[in-house]
């Protein structure tokens, strides 16, 4: 397994599990000072996450939650580019762009983003080529269906095998587009076209994906599967999220995407300490 990721010259070691902090920029107000306030709040939040030990900040301008309203290209660019430009000058850790749109990938990397996080795994028009030209690490996430309808009766033959086939197909597509294997990460996409049983099977069998010999990224933070298990509302799912993140890391996940950086850093420190004691 590769030991380092290179984000435009900023290198990160994968020897210890890393935390990716989530920064959503989803304001809809562009006509007044509202947007400026949102962007300043975003910068503050990013600085805080960096200080708390995040290794990467993942910036997204379009919600991918089930039923979310799609955002236009211009709106997504207007939301994320100013924040990326400020952060690149301001903080010392790589910025990831959470997008599926080729033009947003290109603009974000030009502005200094060092990674692409795509819940569509480069299946939108032009995305393979944009990612190839960007020459930065790309996370290929599995999603069954599309955000608007993915949670309506998701169905698999065998969820772990089906997702392995999907990964194999996307790795081949990326390779054919000229994306270097050293720039690929995989993510099973918890909650993206999966019911509770699917999510549990994936978490219980996550180590199956180690056969690809590519770094695994997981996002479990605050997800509805944690609510289904514990009965907790979204703002009360931190303990469950830490348990889930720890289970994932003990099975080989290298990067954990989370809204709760400080707590997750501590959970992963415990995992790393145990994993280094054998």
The catalytic site residues sit at: 223, 257
Q: How far is CA 124 from CA 62, 103, 224, in A?
A: 15, 11, 26
Shortest distance, position 166 Cβ to ligand 8Y7, whole Å: 14
# binding residues, ligand 8Y7 (CB under 6 A) = 16
Nearest residue to 60 (alpha-carbon basis) of 113, 110, 16, 136: 113
Scan residues 37-96 and list those touching ligand 8Y7 (CB under 6 A). Answer: 60, 64-65
d(CA 117, CA 135): 13
Shortest distance, position 223 Cβ to ligand 8Y7, whole Å: 5
d(CA 36, CA 33): 5
Stretches 149-157, 169-177, 193-201, 216-224: which one binds ligand 8Y7 (CB under 6 A)?
216-224
Given the complex with ligand 8Y7, which of 204 and 274 has the nearer CB atom? 204
* Residue 189 within binding range of ligand 8Y7, rule CB under 6 A: yes
* Residue 119 within binding range of ligand 8Y7, rule CB under 6 A: yes
Strand order in the sheet with 184-187: 184-187, 138-141, 115-118, 95-98, 56-60, 18-24, 255-258, 217-219
Given the complex with ligand 8Y7, which of 33 and 159 has the nearer CB atom? 159
d(CA 116, CA 125): 15
**Which helix (DSSP H) or strand (DSSP E) does residue 217 occupy?**
strand 217-219
Among 7, 120, 166, 190, which residue interacts with ligand 8Y7 (rule: CB under 6 A)? 190
d(CA 19, CA 136): 18
Among 62, 76, 187, 260, which residue interacts with ligand 8Y7 (rule: CB under 6 A)? 187
Shortest distance, position 191 Cβ to ligand 8Y7, whole Å: 7
Angle (CA) 40 45 46, round 5°: 95
**Positions that interact with ligand 8Y7 (CB under 6 A):** 22, 60, 64-65, 98, 117, 119, 139, 141, 187, 189-190, 217, 219, 223, 257
């Amino acid at each position: 397994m590769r030991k380092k990721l290179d984000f435009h010259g900023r290198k990160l070691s994968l020897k210890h599990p890393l935390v990716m902090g989530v920064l959503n920029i989803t304001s809809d107000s562009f006509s007044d000072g509202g947007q400026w306030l949102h962007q300043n709040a975003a910068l503050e939040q990013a600085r805080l996450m960096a200080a708390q030990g995040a290794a990467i900040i993942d910036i997204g301008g379009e919600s991918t939650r089930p039923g979310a309203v799609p955002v236009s290209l211009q709106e997504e660019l207007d939301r994320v580019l100013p924040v990326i430009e400020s952060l690149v000058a301001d903080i010392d850790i790589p910025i990831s762009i959470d997008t599926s749109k080729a033009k947003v990938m290109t603009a974000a990397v030009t502005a200094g983003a060092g990674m692409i996080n795509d819940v569509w795994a480069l299946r939108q028009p032009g995305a393979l080529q944009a990612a190839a030209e960007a020459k930065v690490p790309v996370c290929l996430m599995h999603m069954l269906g599309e955000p608007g309808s993915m949670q309506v009766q998701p169905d698999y033959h065998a969820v772990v095998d089906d997702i392995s086939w999907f990964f194999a197909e996307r790795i081949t597509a990326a390779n054919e587009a000229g994306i270097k294997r050293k720039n690929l990460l995989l993510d099973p996409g918890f909650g993206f076209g999966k019911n509770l049983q699917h999510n549990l099977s994936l978490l219980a069998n996550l180590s199956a994906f180690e056969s690809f010999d590519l770094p695994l990224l997981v996002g479990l933070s605050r997800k509805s599967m944690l609510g289904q298990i514990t009965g907790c509302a979204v703002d009360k799912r931190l303990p469950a999220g830490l348990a889930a993140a720890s289970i994932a890391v003990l099975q080989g996940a290298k990067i954990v995407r989370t809204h709760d950086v400080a707590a997750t850093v501590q959970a992963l420190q415990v995992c790393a300490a145990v994993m280094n004691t054998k």
